[in-house]
Structure 1
Amino acid sequence: MLTVDFDRLGVGPGSRVIDIGCGAGRHSFEAYRRGADIVAFDQNADDLAEVAAMFEAMADACEAPEYAKAETVRGDALDLPYGNDEFDVVIASEILEHIPQDNQAVIELARVLKPGGALAVTVPRWLPERLCWALSDEYHANEGGHVRIYRADELRDKITARGLRYDHQDFAHALHSPFWWLKCAVGVRHDDHPLVSAYHRMLVWDMMSAPTLTRTAERLLNPLVGKSVALYFTKPVVRRAAR
């Protein structure tokens, strides 16, 4: 289940990509399949161990080109262990809402991106997220939980203030919004609730089968209740005047 549009980012053979806050690795795996040199970056050692195992399994199964490179790196998004202008593509999907010092994280995202490179940032969308917070404190008020709700224009301005050019906005995962509203209403830990489990089965079926009916429904609903908003930026190339 991808939130980021890899075609829009131009990820392909030889692209150097970092997936910051990679979690379970869904975007890292897609970059690897496309032949990129991918760094899956996170602070959670357990998640990174599983991502590394999947990279190895993908290589063994020839699910990624032989020339592609994949590695996992543990670290802090507020202090990335890379020099300036190192990556063609930077992805930060569903991470900034967890970080109290989000301005520092944005500085780091912009710093490691090459001039001419692309940045994709996704966060929970304001309205679906606001409803989740209203229905359940447990949804967000926990260790490592969400510390803020973004409006898209607020986040856009935070990033363009660091010198990046805003390119595009999109929405994703509309079918997941009602699922989370339902979980929040009955209790986020009550996965065995009949309605929650039934809806979850439908989502798994949708992800595995991608039927036309649900794919079309989600595409039509995304502008209204998409669970995530994705923002795309480019780092301008600074051209020096000839002497």
Structure 2
Amino acid sequence: MINTKTLEDLLSNTGDMCLKRRAREIVVSLSPQKNETVLDAGCGDGFYLHLLSKLCSARLVGLDDNPKALDLAKSYVKSKKLKLVEGSVMNMPFEDDIFDKIICSEVLEHLPDDVGGLREFKRVLKKGGVLTITVPSHNYPFLWDPVSFILEKVFGTHIKDGFWAGVWNQHIRLYTPEGLIQTVKKSGLKVEEVKVLTHYGLPFNHFLLNLGYRIRKSKTLPGSVTKSLSKFSSDNGGNRDLYHLFLKAVNFIDRLNDREFNLDTSTVGISLVAIKQRA
């Protein structure tokens, strides 16, 4: 059982409300047990592994094809039960049927063959094992990314990458709930639950996050300030500085998302839980 208070404390410095809700959904839906092995496929900087390392004693494995991302994960996640592996999610360097639970968060939209990727997840997942997926929604709210919304609706196009790409940045596709369900079914996995996440947000939210990321990575800020802005930090350090005022505003708006939306509601993300059937 996940300690929800500890989880909220760990997420307290996360300014990206979509990531925060996504992380909460992933951790709670998996609820790893002591003797289980959990894979984060496409782990990036290891944020989900960081959360799990603080919340459970399961064995953790992070896979990514970017060695720099793995170096970041190694620096952020302090756990003796963590193993980091370089490799592709399309051809994972693991035996069949070895993981109890798998995280596939914001990965499928980058794969030319998403069904093939899901079949690879199925291969390494134990029978009865759980796969939790999150993807960006094609039915995103206008205010979340007005630039992409207008380009798509009026001109039938979008910006593929860069600052103004917004929700489409480096993504081959976005998903609808039904489209994701059908994709998962084609892989042979059984769909257990589907949700849409984060309807309400700040106007131009994608661009605010991108700008904040660029400022934090520019190395123009003092090290102590940069650390205080990190999602890996749960030290609120007082409530008077500008960033924590921003967090308060974000959390105030995000409370409106504390509900289960109909699947046809415009949201930023979609989450899906699937299992590998025993028979």
TM-score by length of 2: 0.66
Match of 1:133 in 2: 148
Q: Please, what is the CA RMSD of the aligned residues?
A: 3.3
Separation (CA, whole Å) in 1 of partners of 2:108 and 2:278: 25
Deviation of residue 117 (structure 1)?
0.6
The letter for the 1-side match of 2:171 is H
1:106 aligns with 2:145: no
Match of 2:277 in 1: 236
Separation (CA, whole Å) in 2 of partners of 1:92 and 1:101: 14
Match of 1:64 in 2: none
The letter for the 1-side match of 2:102 is V
Is this contact kept in 1: 2:100–2:126, CA < 8 A?
yes
Deviation of residue 10 (structure 1)?
3.0
SS at match of 1:236: coil
Match of 2:35 in 1: 14
Cα shift readout 1:58-97 (whole Å, capped 9, x = no counterpart): x4xxxxxxxx611211111110011111100011000111
SS at match of 1:84: coil
Separation (CA, whole Å) in 1 of partners of 2:45 and 2:246: 16
The letter for the 2-side match of 1:21 is G
Within-5 A mapping of 1:10-89: 10-33=31-54, 34-56=56-78, 59=79, 69-89=81-101
Is this contact kept in 2: 1:89–1:118, CA < 8 A?
yes
Which of 219, 226, 234 aligns to 2:258? It is 219
The letter for the 2-side match of 1:50 is L
Separation (CA, whole Å) in 2 of partners of 1:106 and 1:133: 28
Measured at CA, do residues 140 and 42 of structure 1 come closer, stay the same or move farther in structure 2, by a change above 3 Å? farther
Within-5 A mapping of 1:143-158: 145-158=170-183
The letter for the 1-side match of 2:205 is W
The letter for the 2-side match of 1:157 is Q
SS at match of 2:38: strand
Measured at CA, do residues 98 and 12 of structure 1 come closer, stay the same or move farther in structure 2, by a change above 3 Å? same
Cα shift readout 1:120-169 (whole Å, capped 9, x = no counterpart): 1110012118956345614449xx81011212211211212222111111
Match of 2:236 in 1: none
- Where do 5+ consecutive residues of structure 1 fail to align? 60-67, 193-199, 239-243
Separation (CA, whole Å) in 2 of partners of 1:88 and 1:122: 18
Deviation of residue 215 (structure 1)?
4.5
Match of 1:170 in 2: 195
Which of 100, 103, 108 aligns to 1:96? It is 108
Measured at CA, do residues 163 and 73 of structure 1 come closer, stay the same or move farther in structure 2, by a change above 3 Å? same
Separation (CA, whole Å) in 1 of partners of 2:244 and 2:267: 17
Separation (CA, whole Å) in 1 of partners of 2:131 and 2:43: 14
Is this contact kept in 2: 1:17–1:31, CA < 8 A?
no
Cα shift readout 1:9-29 (whole Å, capped 9, x = no counterpart): 231322201101111212111
Question: Which has the bigger relative contact order, CA under 8 A and spacing at least 6?
Answer: 2
TM-score by length of 1: 0.74
Query: What percent identity do the matched residue pairs reach?
Result: 23
Separation (CA, whole Å) in 1 of partners of 2:137 and 2:24: 12
- What is the number of equivalent residue pairs in this alignment? 214
Cα shift readout 1:27-69 (whole Å, capped 9, x = no counterpart): 111222211211111111111101111123xx4xxxxxxxx61
Measured at CA, do residues 221 and 159 of structure 1 come closer, stay the same or move farther in structure 2, by a change above 3 Å? closer
The letter for the 2-side match of 1:133 is S
